[in-house]
Every structure is written in structure tokens, then in C-alpha cells.
Structure 1
Amino acid sequence: MSEVVVPAAWVADRRDEVTLVDVRDAWEFDGIGHVPGAVNVPFDSFRAGEHAVDGETGEAGMLPGGEGFADLMGEAGITDEDHVVAYDDHHGVFAARLLVTAELYGHDPAKLHLLDGDFSAWQRERETTSEATAVDPATYEATDPTAIETPLIDADAVAAAADDPDAVVVDTREDWEYEEGHIPGAVRLDWRELVDDETRGLKSRAEMEEVLEARGITPEKRIVLYCNTARRISHTYTVLRHLGYPDLQFYEGSLTEWEEEGRPLETGS
């Protein structure tokens, strides 16, 4: 079984072996409650510029800067050796962004896990608490993404992929956004097409594979992902890793950077 996206039972059986990270706002974590033992790293704290140090605002796209990210994780008692299980209350899209950010800064992806479902799904059947989690500050080592092999690619590589028959450029935004303007040659896959609204987790493997195959997003292809600000592609990237796709690329700059550089857009469906 893939341990990229993990069910609640998997987490419950390993509570002493993993670090649970809740990326909701602090008022939700404290006021509504959280999974027992979880620490809080709010989503806005690891967006570009939100936790920058000495003017460092990120190496690429929406990354927050390695030093700031390391401080943030260390303050929450997380080390780069921990098995991290992240969750939110939005079907995992914000939690996936934390995991991808950690991977891009050198955290072993085999130690990064997304809770299948979200806080609301957990709360339906399992214990929650409003008690503060004791945190011992730790040292988190973040590596410069340009110094290691990562799935990050730049706009030129995306443009080349659009003309490559062995690659598929995937736009993970909503239909109306895609129709207003997308990278030429990109196929549309709203990230939520892989999510079950009732369970708040992923659809079955068979259902997801049917959706992906219909768009030509298959494991033998090189898959290049983008959205607007790299949040939604984080979820799709994590799901495709879970499904065993071997060749995934991540355009961190996404459409925000693409447009800033004056590159061409296609419109329509």
C-alpha cells in the first residue's frame, strides 16, 4: 500500500511514530479543536514572504525561503528526520502544500504523508481535543532546492513539455479559470475531481484512474503540473505520487509567473 496518502486508521496506529501537523489557522486549531498530539503550522505562515528572514522571500514561485521555513518547522518541534502527517479542513489541499514545500527543501518524501480526508472527516469518528500540545523546539535542516534534485522546473521547460508527445502539461484549476486562459497545450484537471465530497478524502483508485486516463494523464507520460500559485498542484502532485506516477514535474511559478513573463495563453475549453 502507498504510504503517501494515509487513512485515519493508519495514523491512529502510529501516533507515537509520526508528527501530526495541522495547517489550519490558529483560531481553528485552538477553538474548534484538533487531532490529539498535533502541532499547528498555519498555511499562511509558510507562504512566500510570510515567514521570510532578513528579506528572504523565496527561491522560486511561492516558496517561503529555506531559512524561514526551517525556523517555522523547528519552532513547531519538527525535524527534517520526522515522519510528518499533515491535514487541514479543505480536503487536504493546504496540507499537501506543506508536504511539497518540505520535499522541495530536502525532506525525504518517503517521510511525508497526507491524511486521507481532513479534520472534519476525522472528527466524525475519532477523538479531538482543544488542549495545547506541548512542543519542544527542534532543529530543522532545509536544503537549497537548487542544490538537490527536485521536481521543480522553470517556464522554459514547461513550454518545451507542451510540445513533447511524451509529456502532458496539466492545469489543475477550475473550468472557468482554464477557459479564461491557460498554458498552450495544457489539459484541464480540476484538482477536486480526484476528491470525494462525501468522505472528504480521495476517490477510489479506480475512479481516479478513470478520470486521469480520460485526460491522457497516464503513468508512462511525464506529467507537468501548474495552477496559479502552486497550492492546488501540490494536492494533485501528492495524489499522483500516491498512485505511483514515476515522472512528475512541478512548475512552482505557475500561471502567475507565466503571465508576468508575458508568455502566451490559450483561451476556451
Structure 2
Amino acid sequence: MDESVVVSPDWLAARLEEPGVRIVDVRDPWEYEGIGHVPGAVSVPFDSYRDESDVDRGTLPGAKAFAELLSGVGIAPEDAIVAYDDTHGVFAARFVLTALEYGHDDVRLLDGDYSAWNRTYETTTDEPDLEPTAYEADPLSREESPLVGLVAVEDALERGALFVDTREDHEFEEAHLPGAVRFDWREVVDDETRRLKAEDELEDVLGEYGITPDREIVLYCNTARRISHTYVVLRALGYDDVAFYEGSLTEWLANDGEIETGPA
């Protein structure tokens, strides 16, 4: 696994005291405050970096809002951020995707979640002292960004790209993009350890669905949350040609895009 994308609990534990490493807890505030958190972590709840009021932007919060959010918790553009949740990383992965889109160079997903961390390492209810920064976002250009829109998706369908639907069976059966394969995002997680499966296991699981590094891959779900996790995992495995359909099926259906129904 590429440690510039996904890091282990051991990696993080060895760097808790490093000033340039900032830890972001995206759980609900009551979990952060009442259950405990990784020492030094700041609270950035999932709802604070998700905005469903602007259809053209998907659910991204906007560069200005995101910059203000990070400024408020004392994060600077040069910091290395490690994000986690307690849901196998799916909400934290959305934070990773958002930070990358707004130009943060070093943002990583904790392999596992709060429960996985808590099995080995100490937690705390102490909140760190925060000194606000003057964070400025630097959004990726259209050429740099993995996010694609409706027209690009239509073109990818014409090219025969592999569309990967990360939703549940019943959702897929109701409607999916033409030719899509269904890949439940949770298949990459080991239920016992709550961490990602070993790299060779991941490659085998993905390969069973034809999700291989030589393919052009387009990810989608309903509102681009679940594909965030799959995107981060593929990126950590070295997949280069992975597009992220931010509008996902919500936008596709709103524009009367062609669909198929039935089981995978």
C-alpha cells in the first residue's frame, strides 16, 4: 500500500508528536467528545464538509467553505493530514477526496477506523489547543482533477470504460449505468480486523470483477460518498486511470441518462 495515500495505525502512532502531522476525526461531535478520539485529533464532522445545496458542485462544500473549516481547526496547507472515522473509513475517505480536490498535497486515510485504533493504542477525551490558520484552498484544475461530469461520463461509456457501481444489491437492481459491474465498497475491508485486506487479497478481489490497473475505470454510487473509499483504495494500490463521477446516479437520473435494471 502506498503510504502517501493510506497509513497504518503503527505509522500514525509513531508520529503522534510530530508537529506537521494533523489528525482529523470525522465522526459526530458526541462520539469525538464522549467516546474518545486519537490523541491530538481535531473534530471535523462529516456534515461540515458536505453540502447538497448546489447540484452543479455535487456534494462538495466549496473551496472557500473548506478553507475556513481547516483554518478553524488549525490546519495549514503544508501539514500532513490523516483522517479517520468509525465506519471502516468511508466517511474519512470522503474527507480525503475533498482535501485532494481543493489542493491539499498531503492527506491520507487511516487504515482501519477508530475501533481498529482502540484495540492497540490509547485514546483520549482531551481536546487539543487550536490556533486558527489562514488556510487558502488551491482547487485542482479540470485537467488535474479525477472528478468527471455528465458529458465526460457519456464519452467514457462510448469508449467502453469499466463503470464500477459501489452500491448495495437492491440499489443496483433498481437502476445502474449501462454495462456497470457492482462492487460493494466493503469487500476491501476485513470484518475481523476492521482494516483493509492484504494487498494481494485486494488485487484478487478486484480482479474478480475485472477491476484491474490496465482498465479505464469510472466510479459512481448515489451521492459520491461510497466511491470515495474505493477511489482511495485504488489510488493506494497504484491505479492510475480512475475517474470519480461526483454527480453519480443522482445526477445521471436527473438528466434522463440511459440505465439498465436487474441483478449484477
The TM-score normalised by the length of structure 1 is 0.92
Distance apart, 1:146 and its partner CA: 4.6
1:18 aligns with 2:12: no
Q: Which residue of 2 aligns with 1:103?
A: 100
Distance apart, 1:163 and its partner CA: 3.0
- CA separation in 2, counterparts of 1:155 and 1:216? 24
Distance apart, 1:155 and its partner CA: 1.4
- CA separation in 2, counterparts of 1:249 and 1:164? 13
Where in structure 2 are the equivalents of 1:1-269 lying within 5 Å?
2-3=2-3, 4-15=5-16, 16=18, 17-48=20-51, 57=54, 60-108=57-105, 111-146=106-141, 149-165=144-160, 167-269=161-263
What is the RMSD of the two structures over their aligned residues, measured on CA atoms? 1.5
**Is the CA contact 1:23–1:88 (under 8 Å) kept in the aligned structure 2?**
yes
The TM-score normalised by the length of structure 2 is 0.94
- Count of residues in Structure 1 that have an aligned counterpart in Structure 2: 260
After the TM superposition, which parts of structure 1 deviate over 3 Å for at least 4 consecutive aligned residues? Answer: 144-148
SS in 2 for 1:163: helix
Distance apart, 1:48 and its partner CA: 1.0
**Is the CA contact 1:191–1:233 (under 8 Å) kept in the aligned structure 2?**
yes
Distance apart, 1:183 and its partner CA: 0.8
Distance apart, 1:148 and its partner CA: 6.0
- CA separation in 1, counterparts of 2:65 and 2:104? 15
Q: Aligned residues: percent identity? A: 58
**Is the CA contact 1:58–1:64 (under 8 Å) kept in the aligned structure 2?**
no
Closer, same or farther: CA 81–6 of 1 in aligned 2, 3 Å: same
Output the amino acid matched with 2:124. Answer: T
- CA separation in 1, counterparts of 2:7 and 2:141? 29
- CA separation in 2, counterparts of 1:48 and 1:80? 22
- Runs of at least 5 residues in structure 1 that lack an aligned partner in the other structure: 51-56
Output the amino acid matched with 2:80. Answer: H
Q: Which residue of 2 aligns with 1:54?
A: none
Distance apart, 1:199 and its partner CA: 0.9
Closer, same or farther: CA 218–196 of 1 in aligned 2, 3 Å: same
Closer, same or farther: CA 183–147 of 1 in aligned 2, 3 Å: closer
Deviations 1:25-56 (A, max 9, x none): 11100000000000010001111158xxxxxx
Deviations 1:202-234 (A, max 9, x none): 111121111111111110111111111111010
**Is the CA contact 2:52–2:58 (under 8 Å) kept in the aligned structure 1?**
no
